[in-house]
Chain A
Amino acid sequence: MTDITSTPAPRHIPDRLDRPFSSAIFSWEALLVVVAVAIFAINSFASPYFLDPYSLSDLTFNFTEKGLIAFAMALLIISGEIDLSVAAIIALASTMMGMAVQAGAGTPVLVLIGIVVGLGCGAFNGLLVTRLGLPSIVVTIGTMSLFRGIAFIILGDQAYKGYPESFAFFGQGYVWWVVSFELVLFLVAAVVYWFVLHRTSFGRRVFAIGNNPVAAQFSGVRVGRIKFTLFCLTGLMSGIASVLITSRLGSTRPSIAQGYELEVITMVVLGGVSILGGAGSILGVVLAAFIMGLVTFGLGLLNVPGIVMSIFIGLLLIIVIALPIVWRRLRGGR
C-alpha cells in the first residue's frame, strides 16, 4: 500500500487572479462610473429641474424594466447565446394578461399569468436552441415574430384596458417616499444576479460555457441544461417586465415594448459584457442601465425628442466600446 499522506500538498490555486488597485482603476466599470458621473453633472447643469428627488425618481422608470431583462440577458450573452424575442415575450404576456382581465381575473392571477407566459416563451426558445442545436440569434428572430404575431392575431388593432386598480401598484406604486416598487425590484434583482453570476458555481459554469462550450462539456458541465435555464430566466424576467409595463401603462396593445430587445442588448453590451461570450459583470450592466436612464431622462428634460436621444445612445455604445480599443492601440504604439 502506498502512503497516501506523503503525496505532495495540493498546489494552491487562487480563487481569482490578483487584481491590484491600478487595474481596478482602468477597469470597464470604472470607465462607466466616470461616464455616469459626467452625464449626471452635465444634466444637473443643463436643467434646473434635474436635481429634484421627484425628477430623479421618475428617471428610474426609464431603465428599470429593461434593466430587469438585461440582467438575465447578460448571463445569456456571457454563455454565448442571445435572445432577440424579449420584447415580443412582453407583448404576448401582456396580451394574455389582457385576456385574463376580460375574463374577470384578479391581480394575483394576472401577475401569475404574466410570469408563467414569460417563462413558457423562454422555455420554448431554450428547447429549440438546446434540443435541436439551432443558432439562438435565428431562433429568437423567428420566435420574436411568432410571439408578437400571436399578440397581433389575438388583438389586431384593438387594445385591452380595464386592469384592476390594485394592479397599478407594480408599475406606478412607491414603496417609500420617492422609491418606486420598480426601483426596489431592480435593485433586488441586481443583487440576486450579481450573487448568482459572481459567487456561485452556476455563475462559474456560465463563464466556462461562454469561453469554450466544448471544454465545458468535457469538464462535466451540463451545457445544454444551463443554457436552457438561462433562456427560461430571460423569459421569466421578460414576463416580470411585462407585468410592470402593463401595470404602468394600464393598457395592452400588440405593439407594446416595440424595439426593447435592441435597447436591452445595447444596455448589456454597454455594461461591458462581451457579445462573443465569456466575459462581463452585473455591476457593469447596472451602471449601463443607469447611464442609459440618465441620458434619456436628461435629454427629455431638455425637450430633446426620443428619436434624437437614440443617436446619443448609439454613439455612446460605439464610443464606449471603441475607446478602450483605441486607447490600447495608442499605448501599444501600433
Chain B
Amino acid sequence: MSKYVVSSSPHIGNDRTVATIMLDVLIALMPAVLGSVYFFGFYALFIEILAVGSAVGAEALFNVITKREQTIGDCSAAVTGLLLALNLPVSVPFYVPIIGSAFAIIFVKMLFGGIGKNFANPAIAGRIFLLLAWASAMTSFVKPITWINGDAFVYFRCILRGREGLLDVAALSTATPLASLRTDPAGLGVFDMFFGAIGGSLGETSALLLLIGGVYLIVRRVIDWRVPVTFIGTVALFALIYGAAKGHALDYILPSLFGGGLFLGAFFMATDYSTTPNTKLGLVVFALGCGIITSLIRFFGSYPEGVSFAILLMNIVTPYIDKAFIPRPFGYRPKKGAKA
C-alpha cells in the first residue's frame, strides 16, 4: 500500500451516514410525537407505532421477496412511517396507517428502486393515497384533549382512552382552523393554533413543537434553511396579499401559518433529499412553488388544505428544476459569444 492514495472525488468525508441523518429527523420529530400524545392521548402513540412498524415491515418484506440487500437499517422507512402517522387524524381506524405505510414504502419507494430513487416523498404520496381512499376518515378531526379545568385526574383518564373513547365524545369532533380560514380568519385563536390546542392531524397541530424540531434540523445542518423559510414566507406573503384584497390585510397571515400542516410540510416533508432539487437556487424555486400552490389550493381550491398536494406536485417537477439550474463547474468560463 502506497502512502499516497489516488482516488476520485469526494476526498473529504465525515462519519455522517443515511442512518445518522434519519435518526436526527426522528429526534426532531419527537417533540411533535410527545405533543400528539399530550393532545390526543395514547391512541395517537398506537397509530404512530403501527405506522412505523408497518413501514419498516413492508420494506423488510419487499427486500426479502425480491432478494435484495436489507435496507431497513438506514431508518428511512421509520421516518416515512412516522411522518405518515403524524399526517393522520387521530380518529382513523387501525388499518389506515398500516395500508398507508405499506403503500408509501412499496409503491412509492421500493418499486422505484428504494431510497434515493423515489420520485415523490413516500409519506406525502401515502397521505394523498389515504385521503383519496378514505376521504371521510381522513378529514374528520377531533378536538384535542386539553387540560380540562386544570383537573389532572380527568385529563389522564381522557388520554388513556382508545379510539372508541375518542369517538364516544361526539361533541369533540371539529374541523381544522383552515376550514374557516376563508370565511372567518379573525375568529381563530392564534395562541391555540401556535401551541396546538386545535383540531388537526396528529403532528400538525402544534406549530411550536414542529418549530423546535425544525430548528434542531437546521442547526444540525440536516436540512437547508432556505426551503422552510421560503415556503413559509411565500405562504405568509400570499396570505397578506389575499387579506389586503379582502380589506383585512393582517387577519389571514397567522392562521395561514399555524392553522394547518404548513410547518410539518415545510420542515419535514419538503426537505427530503431525493425529491428536492440539488442546488440552493433550485431549492428556493422548489419552496416558492410549494408556497404558491399551497396558498392557491387553500384560498381558491375545493380542499381546505393544500400542503401535501403542493409538495407532491413540486416533487414531480424537481428534475426539471434541476435541469434549469445546472451549476457552473469550478474554473469553467463560458466562451464569449457562445449560447448559454
A and B from one complex: no
> B-side interface residues toward A, CB under 8 Å?
none
> A-side interface residues toward B, CB under 8 Å?
none
